[in-house]
Chains A and B, each alone.
Chain A
Amino acid sequence: MKAISLISKEFVLADGKYVVTIAVFEVEKSKKFPEGIKAKFLVQDSEDGTARLLVDNHQPFGFHMHTKLPHDKDHREILDVKDHEEALAFFMTEVERIIKNEEN
């Protein structure tokens, strides 16, 4: 089964300083993606092009976030969420926190 794009959205905020990307694909169920969903939630700093926060899902980690990109791609913090919706809600809260910190 070829990956089918389910959600593909980009959103620019905070005077263009950050770009939020939501990309969700339906993929064949496998050990890596047992639910058949591959998700990537990204906040990118548009000034230097680096990823500020990346949340994605694959086994053996489940949903996890990368907070030390681009220097440490292997650093992951596992998220205590039960499904994609909770992971997205967590991500959106983090986006709001990033923007709020930017404003202060």
Chain B
Amino acid sequence: MKKIEFLEVHFQAFGDFKKEVTKALSKRVATIQPKNHVVFDSVASFRNFMTIQKIELLTTIAVLKPSSIYELAKLVDRDFAAVLRDCTGLTATGFINLKEMNDAKGTKVPQLKFSYGGIAVYLPKSPYQIEFKAAA
């Protein structure tokens, strides 16, 4: 059975992030964030960002693999502008990529950043995981 890969959400206070990069720069220590990590400044910040609508978009992208944002909007039955805005946010924060097709319509295909099967949220105390599954 294929092992499910998770995108990991971690938390770090802004002050600690600042100290970490400042130290890395002054000591010239290689500090590379793993590609499967997204770091938020707080659990509250992540909760406010990751709405149910965005989780639905991620699940739909993972399971149904839409070929455009327009198709994704139709699949989740939301208006295109709102889906585009959510996709832009998910792209900037590192959950998805918008692959440019360079066609006449300027199509962008929403894709998971890598083929992860769920999101693992590493709370300061204990991690929990959400696995993508299509609705029954």
Contacts and interface: CB of A to CB of B under 8 A. Distances in A.
Interface residues of B, number: 32
A22 B30 CA distance: 12
A16, A24, A49, A99: residue with the most chain B Cβ atoms closer than 10 Å: A16
B48 A16 contact: yes
Given A16-B45, A88-B25, A7 B31 contact: yes
Nearest to B17: A11
Contacts, number: 93
25 contacts: A5-B32, A6-B28, A7-B21, A7-B25, A7-B32, A8-B33, A9-B31, A9-B33, A11-B39, A11-B41, A12-B41, A12-B46, A12-B93, A13-B40, A13-B41, A14-B41, A15-B44, A15-B45, A16-B50, A19-B92, A46-B89, A47-B88, A88-B25, A89-B22, A95-B14
A13 B45 contact: yes
Interface residues of A, number: 30
B28 to A, nearest CB: 7
B118 interface: no
Contacts of A72: none
Given A12-B39, A15-B48, A92 B18 contact: yes
A15 B124 CA distance: 17
A80 interface: no
B88 A12 contact: no
B100 to A, nearest CB: 13
A8 to B, nearest CB: 5
A27 B32 CA distance: 16
